[in-house]
Structure formats: C-alpha cells, structure tokens
Amino acid sequence: MENNMLKEMKNLLAFLTIIPVGMDADCLRDAAEYMPLFPLVGAFIGALAGLFAWLLSRILPGLVVGVLTLGFILLVTGLHHTDGLLDFGDGLMCQGPPERKIEVMHDEQTGTGGLMLGLIMALTTAFSIAALSPSMFFQALTVSEVSAKFAMVLVAWAGTSAHEGMGSVFIEAMHRGQRRLRLAGAVIIPLGLTIPLLWAVGLLLLAVGVLTCLTIVWASSRHFRGVTGDVFGAANDLARMTSLITVLAVSPWA
C-alpha cells in the first residue's frame, strides 16, 4: 500500500513538474485518478517559489524578484500550463464555429490572442509578486499555487469534454462514481492548506480561484462546446494570477 501511494505521488509530481522523479507507464492514469491531490503538488511548488523569492529579495530589487520568481515557477512546471493558456487565447479570439476554434488551438503557431493573453498573465503575475512584502512570499505563493491546481480539478469536475484527448481523461475520472466524494476531497485539501497560512484571506483566495475557474468553464462551453486540455492550463495560470491580485487587494485590511 505504501509503495503504491509513493508511486502515485511520484507520478503526480512527474506529471505536474519537470522534477526528475521518474515517470512510468501509469503516469497519466494515476494523475487522472488522483487529480484531487493536485493541490498538494501545488503547495510544494508554491513553497519552493516562496523560498526562492525570499532568497532573491535579500540581494535584488522587487521587480527583478517578481520576474525571476515567475520564471522559476514556469520552469518547474515545464511551461505546460502556459502553452495551454496561449492556445486558449488563440481559440477565444478565433472567429467561426467551435470546430474551427479548436483547430486553431491545436495549431503549433501562436497567434495574437494567445500572445496577448500570455503577456497579460506574465506581466500581471510578475508585478504582483514584486509588490508582495518579503514576509508574505511563502504564504502568498504557496496559496496561489494551491488555488491554481484546485482550479484545474474544478475544471475537470464542472466541465464536459469538447473532444477526445488528454483533457477528456481527467474529466472522465472526475465524473466517474462517487463524483461528489471526489469534489469533497478536492475541497478539503485546499482548505487544509490555505487556512493555516492566510486564514480568512486564504478562503477569499480560494473563492476567487473558483470564480476564475467557473468563468473559464463558461467561456469554454460557449466557444468550444466543452473543455479541452488547453483549458486546464489556462485555468491554472489565470487562477494563480487572480489569487495574487487578491492578496494585494486585501493586504491593507488583512
């Protein structure tokens, strides 16, 4: 049992990051089956980013810290989610039926819509990190990554597949038997991670992440008649961004 759990957690880490823990043939299946545990990996990534940002802040100005910390997060996650965000932006800006929009999302070339959405995400996220107090790096970055991974879980739970692909594997896993129990587990884990770190602010960040996720699912249903794998990546990066914006917005009263 312990060996199986270790293998499953290793596959989750291998799927969501580039950390060389080894990836076996069951990686995709384990990642889909244990998707409610995504926020645990998010907490690990966020904690690493918080430590990285704090160390940099000892010797570098805030703006440089913000840019390099975002770069660190994107590097650790292999830019997989950001690639999905760019494709999502292209799909939204494309004119035509859902089939045409999905075709554009699968194009290897990045268009203006994806470029602008990616640029807005990168600039806003980097500037938000730069504006944080060094004493808040660990808490804010950890909770923002938890929120980002929680958003992907909610996309799988609330969305329907636009077509057969990697995204549909996760959606089918979250829609199988005991669907409500899966959602309950997916909610309990982020709550357990965020409340001790930021208390009521942590709850607010999760709520903002949920709203971000539901907005993305609504837009995807409207434009693509469902959710694709790229939508998961967009939810991850945009939920991180909105969570960090929320930290800055409420910090004067927190």
Interval 110-152: pLDDT, tens: 999 999 999 999 999 999 999 999 999 999 999 999 999 999 9
Confidence of residue 49 (pLDDT cuts 50, 70, 90): very high
In the structure, what pLDDT confidence band is assigned to residue 2 with cuts at 50, 70 and 90? Answer: very low
Domain ranges of the chain: 36-245
Q: What is the mean pLDDT of residues 235-239?
A: 97
CA–CA gap between residue 93 and residue 114 (Å, rounded): 8
Banded model confidence at residue 22, pLDDT cuts 50, 70, 90: confident
pLDDT over 70, % of the chain: 98
pLDDT over threshold 60, residue 244: yes
